[in-house]
Amino acid sequence: MVETSEKLLNGKNVLVTRPQEQSFELASKLIAEGANIYLLPTIKITLPEDYSEIDAALEDLSKYDWIVFTSTNAVRYFVERLEYLRLFKNILGGTKIASVGPATALMLEKYGIEVHFVAAEHTAEVLAESLPDVSGKNVLIPTTDINKGKLRQILSGRNAQVCEIAFYNTRKNEIADDYILQTFTAGIDIITFTSSSSVEALIELLRPLQLNINKHLIACIGPHTADTARGHGLTVDIIAKPFTIDGLIASMLEYFSNHTNKRNTPEFRNENTV
């Protein structure tokens, strides 16, 4: 965090687009930095209707050499199903565990699961490219139903036998237009995105309302989320480094520490955009 006698986010209105049940960590840390929080949970997590493929994999985890986790959600729903089936002890065998980053690794460790590999840069691509000893090995990837399969593609290219299973679904949240308009009328300074799906969901929610969110600063948790935002025509002002909640907040603080004049405000940027 940037150390300063005055809180750099003091009075800033920050939009949090994470699922409602996962917004507390980001929101509470932003509040501690002086920000005013507006919650607009653009996505929601739902459970699969059919668990047959999931349960078949969990009942024979010993056949996998690696289990690869790319999000805390994947950890949560993987462990919850193991516990439901009373198979949690199965994870404590010889299978190695890989994590995309420190937050996911921390959640695994909280469940008592040893993490054998953490990607040096917290992206699925780096994880897939750097995961050791995968040629000819069986790899399980618990994921969401909208996963684009980049991790599977890279690992398969390295001669791994990959099983990718959706343990949860990611859906756009249905939010009343009036609530969205009321939220943006409040005067949002910064919109935070912690996933590509949150970007896409907000764009879809705002499309019929014709709101220009480029009038606000855009802060993204990592390069993939930023690329998704740019793909929708957004100007990304802040990218977390490292690609974590704490990294996102630190990068926001650094931004406001370095940008203190009118030429770097979203109002100036949009007034002077051709």
DSSP 206-265: HGGGT--GGGSEEEESSHHHHHHHHHTTPPP-EE-SSSSHHHHHHHHHHHHHH--SGGGS
d(CA 248, CA 118): 19
Residue, of 94 and 23, whose pLDDT is higher: 23
DSSP helix/strand/coil, 18: coil
Given pLDDT bands bounded at 50, 70 and 90, which one contains residue 90? low
- 109 phi-psi bin (left φ>0, alpha ψ -120 to 50, beta other): alpha
Residue corresponding to tokens 């699969």: 48
State CA 140 to chain mean position distance. Answer: 20
What is the helix (H) or strand (E) element at residue 232, kind and residue range?
none
| Multiple choice CATH, 46-170, 3.40.50.10090, 3.10.290.10, 3.90.650.10, 3.40.30.10 | 3.40.50.10090
Q: In this model, does residue 267 exceed pLDDT 70?
A: no
Q: Which two tokens stand for residue 36?
A: 């005013």
Residue corresponding to tokens 């420190």: 102
DSSP 143: E
CATH 3.40.50.10090 residue spans of the chain: 13-42+173-271, 46-170
d(CA 52, CA 1): 45
d(CA 243, CA 183): 27
Given pLDDT bands bounded at 50, 70 and 90, which one contains residue 27? very high
Q: Domain 13-42+173-271, CATH 3.30.450.20 — does that match?
A: no
The answer to whether the CB of 152 falls within 8 A of the CB of 173 is no
Question: Are β-strands 43-46 and 161-172 bridged in parallel, bridged antiparallel, or unpaired?
Answer: antiparallel
Q: Could you tell me the sign of the dihedral formed by the alpha carbons of 259, 263, 265, 270, in that order? A: negative
How many H-runs (helices) and E-runs (strands) does the chain carry? 11, 11
pLDDT for residue 263: 36
State CA 150 to chain mean position distance. Answer: 16
User: Tens of pLDDT along 112-171?
Assistant: 999 999 999 888 999 999 999 999 999 999 999 998 889 999 999 999 999 999 999 999
The model's pTM:
0.85
pLDDT for residue 272: 30
User: Tens of pLDDT along 46-88?
Assistant: 999 999 999 999 998 999 999 999 999 999 999 999 999 998 7
User: Tens of pLDDT along 229-252?
Assistant: 999 999 999 999 888 999 999 999
What is the helix (H) or strand (E) element at residue 107, kind and residue range?
helix 102-110
The answer to whether the CB of 87 falls within 8 A of the CB of 59 is yes
User: Tens of pLDDT along 187-226?
Assistant: 999 999 999 999 999 999 999 998 889 999 999 998 989 9
